[in-house]
A and B are shown apart, each in its own frame.
Chain A
Amino acid sequence: MTNVAKSEKVMTAPAKKKDYGDPIVSVRGLKKHFPIKSGLIFQRETAAVKAVDGLDFDIFRGETLGLVGESGCGKSTTGRTILQLHRATSGTVNFEGTELTTLKGNSLREMRRKMQIIFQDPYASLNPRMSISRIISEPLVVHGIGSERDRQKRVEELLERVGLNPFFANRYPHEFSGGQRQRIGVARALALEPSFIVCDEPISALDVSIQAQVVNLLQDLQRDMGLTYLFIAHDLSMVRHICDRVAVMYLGKIVEMAESEELYTNPLHPYTQALLSAVPVPDPDVEENRQRIILKGDLPSPANPPVGCNFNTRCPVAIDVCFDWDPELIEVLPGHWVACHRVT
């Protein structure tokens, strides 16, 4: 069974699971290139790491969009560029009708109340010199919200909301475990009551036993507060149950995007198929017949991506046109987008 045969076989319209409203975030042609400089005193830009190289997608209000890909493919850069923690090289990010890439100073600061981020490393994401209560109240201090007493009350509420005892508000981060620290990070992100949160691999650094707790917490919060998530992960199996839709990234580009059930049952892009073939299946019969697609070669450098389809160096089904033309991301089935010459 070749990949192409497989993709032809199941090209039927998927049932849409969820009714999507209006997009809360619209990303168009987003690029983020990090310049590589050289020269002793007068440095010139000699090359660029194309960490994010042309993204188009929407995130709908109330959904969880998964962003999946190998390490170094630009997932974190995407999240940070949307939040304007990195300024985009080109392209636009529209958030609730406001264009973010051109915002500066106070108007950008005002927008930051609505979008927040949760980090991967629970140890690096909390300032070791600040008490928990100072960490969580910092967003309120920065925006001048409430009196000192109001803030303390809010900190206690937030701690309780993320499942921590408010009694420990005056302790320092090093006294908490990884899972507890991650909850503190969540509380900080919630302090300004945002509508959109980028979760940058929030559970990858945690023990398996604690991962489920944090995921449950995030899902509870989403339901209660109507949050929208961009959920970054490096592993497809992890996001299946968390996300409504999943986008697969490779070398700074989205290669496939669909509702998660659709993506898992009907992967069309050869890269997605390869990733999924590495995921063990619970059903023993299916597991026995599961064929691993081993990708040859390494991930090319984002400073020097291949010409044509950037997957062509490792693609098992590449054809001539793949080395000349970069495939566009096209909606081949309703809500199912793929960038591959063999599919479109």
Chain B
Amino acid sequence: MTASKPISLKDEGLEQKKRSTPMGDALRQFRRNKMAVVAFFIITFFIFMAVTASLWSNISFLDAPKGFKARHTINPAGLDRVDPYAEPGHCARDGLDQGKAWCALLTEEQRARFPNSCRVEIPDPNQRQWCYILGSDGGGKDWMTQTVYGAQVSLAVAFVGSSVSLLLGLVYGMVSGFYGGRIDNVMMRFVDFLYGIPGLVIIIIMQVYFREISSKYEDSSGIVGFIVEINKDLGGLFFLFIALGLLSWIGTARLARGQVLSYREKEFVEAARAVGARDRRIIFVHLLPNIIGPLLVAETLAIPGYIFAEAFLSYIGLGVQPGTPSWGEMISRAGQEGGFYSNRHMIYVPSAALVMLTLAFNFFGDGLRDALDPRLRGR
């Protein structure tokens, strides 16, 4: 009867061990990966910028005693053209052209000595002063503000792309893997077919087509007109979402199916069937919590792909609509408006943002993978 006696705490060796739950272990594992933690904060920072972008353009956040007040709008009202580009750090008072960029570096007395280059009138210190922290484009629009708005586009594409892909792929792959047989066969042949098509080419063709629709149905009523209207309000993002979402789920569906197949035959699933659990319970209680981890990791690692796809499409003019700043579109504008040597900041700023955000998602995805890897659990 020794077997049936409750084993003491010591025997089980459990009381020395720290309490360990799958969530807690994952978090602990994630925190160990320093790069991933840094990446997490970078992503959070970009999200914060994107969410608060509109506040930045209306509320001053710096009010130094010398009248330095940085306010950002895409085109500050009343500010004359700053020709040709404001360098990073260039400041100007409302209603005044500060002339050449170097004038900004002079004190007001010094400036008075160069009446031809810098205007003699001493600006009214009570006037607002605008500072281009990261310079401007040729139209005097603040480059940093545009970059922040560009983050909105990139992050929207990242989250919508990955959510659509996850949702469609998960449902499709799980149905295929769970019900198996003929259903599985037909569904997977269709995925194979889509997989063979070069995605970017299809997206480009679709975007060209959508462009056409947009201009044709611009003012028409009805469902198409309504969608075109929404797309216009979103700066062309709606059709971009459709184009990206339509193909991005394929890989997810394959992964989800493979995961379901590997777990479907596991003994704990069979145990659940043996007690009479219904399909719904097996899918949501036994399969989903086990397969969701790898899918989230894959989806996170796919985000840089979505961001780059949007940037590329916008770069070649098939992404966002004109007037909506996006990093790809900004880089393209930087190239057109003067090339690499005359206004480097225009290229550096959106490129740096693009590289930082995509790298951050990559490192974050790596950290997530380590955190959810059961082989590393509990260490």
Contact = CB atoms under 8 A, between A and B. Distances in A.
Contact of A112 (B3, B21, B276, B290): B276
A252 interface: no
Contact of A142 (B6, B268, B277, B377): B277
Interface residues of A, number: 52
A119 B20 contact: no
B2 to A, nearest CB: 7
A161 B189 CA distance: 51
A128 B290 contact: yes
A33 interface: no
B232 interface: no
Interface in A179-236: 180, 185, 188, 191-192, 213-214, 216-217, 220
A292 interface: no
Nearest to B269: A127
B185 A41 contact: yes
Interface string B174-208: 00000000100110010000000000000000000
B12 interface: yes
B275 interface: yes
Interface residues of B, number: 40
A163 interface: yes
A167 B2 CA distance: 19
Contacts of B21: 172
Contacts of A83: 274
B6 A139 contact: no
B271 A125 contact: yes
Interface in B273-291: 273-278, 281, 285-286, 289-290
Contacts of A80: 270
A127 B6 contact: no
B60 to A, nearest CB: 50
B3 A216 contact: yes
A310 B12 CA distance: 48
Given A117-B274, A127-B290, A174-B377, A217 B3 contact: yes
B182 A43 contact: yes
15 contacts: A85-B270, A112-B275, A116-B274, A127-B285, A127-B290, A138-B277, A142-B272, A142-B276, A160-B6, A165-B9, A171-B20, A174-B378, A176-B14, A217-B3, A220-B1
Interface of B: 1-9, 12, 14, 17, 19-22, 182, 185-186, 189, 266-268, 270-278, 281, 285-286, 289-290, 374, 377-378
Q: Which 4 residue pairs of A and B lie closest in terms of their CB atoms, listed nearest first?
A: A109-B276, A139-B275, A125-B267, A216-B3
